[in-house]
Structure 1
Amino acid sequence: MEKSKEKSHSWLDPMSVAPRRGSIYPAPFADPLAGREKRALGDALGLTQFGVNLVTLAPGAWSSQRHWHVHEDEFIYVLEGAVTLVTDAGEKVLRPGMAAGFPAGKADGHHLINRGDAPALYLEAGTRAEREEAQYSDIDMMARKENGRFVFMRKTGEPYP
């Protein structure tokens, strides 16, 4: 591990981790995520086998476009506020203390929406697969992990500009 990424301790104050705002999706798919902030706690603690993010969704914000992963499991645990989980089966409001899991390879697109009037806070954990593909249920987009980063393209494989 690079010296600059090593941690001298195994704890941190989550608010000391700079948030990533919005999304890396191509336009216009990033717009509903403008009110999302992620704090990469797993990265800050030097974890390499799975990621952990502390996510804040502002009122009206989405966690992502509705998607599913081929190789990576995902898990969320609601800490504050309420989020609406949207899947192929419909919608379910999740409140503090509730959790949801999304097994790798299960073709059931999911995302969270904050339909309330206060911010929602949840933990998100997921596998860090070397190879990955994500399918987006409601839009003409898919993603492949290349050199550790997601590249977004149309479902035909044509890249977005």
Structure 2
Amino acid sequence: MTTEAKAVINTADLKLDHWKQGEFYESADTSFGKLLGLAGLGISYNEVPSGKSSCPFHNHHVEDELFYVIAGAGEYRFGDERHAIKAGDTLGAPAGGPETAHQIINTGTATLVYLGISTMAKTEIVEYPDSGKFLAKTNRAKTNTAKTNTDSAGTGRFRHIGRPETNLDYWDGEPGA
């Protein structure tokens, strides 16, 4: 554990980032695994308003995720199924294909509060079945919670969002090919 890391963190003391994207996506959240000195385990605290979700329907090819509902009620979209969720429920999202795609939606009237815990792979592929896109990324640098393609200069981090139909030939653009 580094000197900056803490052994105990109370979620009431976390500084949350509030963001909104369109009409359906909104959250006040933060990732805090590094504050605990954890390099291989990601932890996020999420507060999602009624009628909203904090992320699109997606699946991870490498990372496993677990969610623990602290307060509120909602719906857990998992693969082709939908499950009612409430405080005290634990949700699993193992790595896999579209059959493990998942999304938490606040269908209740109060704020939905949950913890997200995940393995932190150095390289990850994420698919988004509803929109047909994918994300290829590395997690070698400081985590950027913004859901964009931007990267700070000099971090060595790779992040690309695309669609399979833009697939190029292996030799495309290579000199002498």
TM-score range, shorter chain: 0.7 to 0.9
Query: Residue 162 of structure 2 aligns with which residue?
Result: 153
What is the rounded CA distance, in whole Å, between the counterparts of 2:72 and 2:50 in structure 1? 10
How much does 1:43 deviate? 2.4
Q: Is the 8 A contact 2:79 2:98 kept in 1?
A: no
How much does 1:103 deviate? 1.0
Question: For 2:12, what is the secondary structure of its paired residue?
Answer: helix
- Greater RCO (CA < 8 Å, at least 6 residues apart): 1
How much does 1:155 deviate? 3.2
Q: What are the equivalent positions in structure 2 for 1:71-150 lying under 5 Å apart?
A: 71-108=62-99, 109-146=101-138, 147-148=156-157, 150=159
Size of the aligned set, in residue pairs, is 148
Q: Deviations over 1:91-121 (max 9, x none)?
A: 1111111111111124322101101111011
Q: Is the 8 A contact 1:14 1:41 kept in 2?
A: no
**Counterpart amino acid of residue 7 in structure 2:** S
TM-score, normalised to structure 1, is: 0.81
Deviates more, 1:148-157 or 1:62-71: 148-157
TM-score, normalised to structure 2, is: 0.74
Q: Is the 8 A contact 1:143 1:152 kept in 2?
A: yes
When the two chains are superposed, the root-mean-square deviation of aligned CA atoms in Å is 2.2
Identity %: 25
**Counterpart amino acid of residue 121 in structure 1:** V
Gaps of 5+ in 2: 139-155, 168-177
How much does 1:72 deviate? 0.3
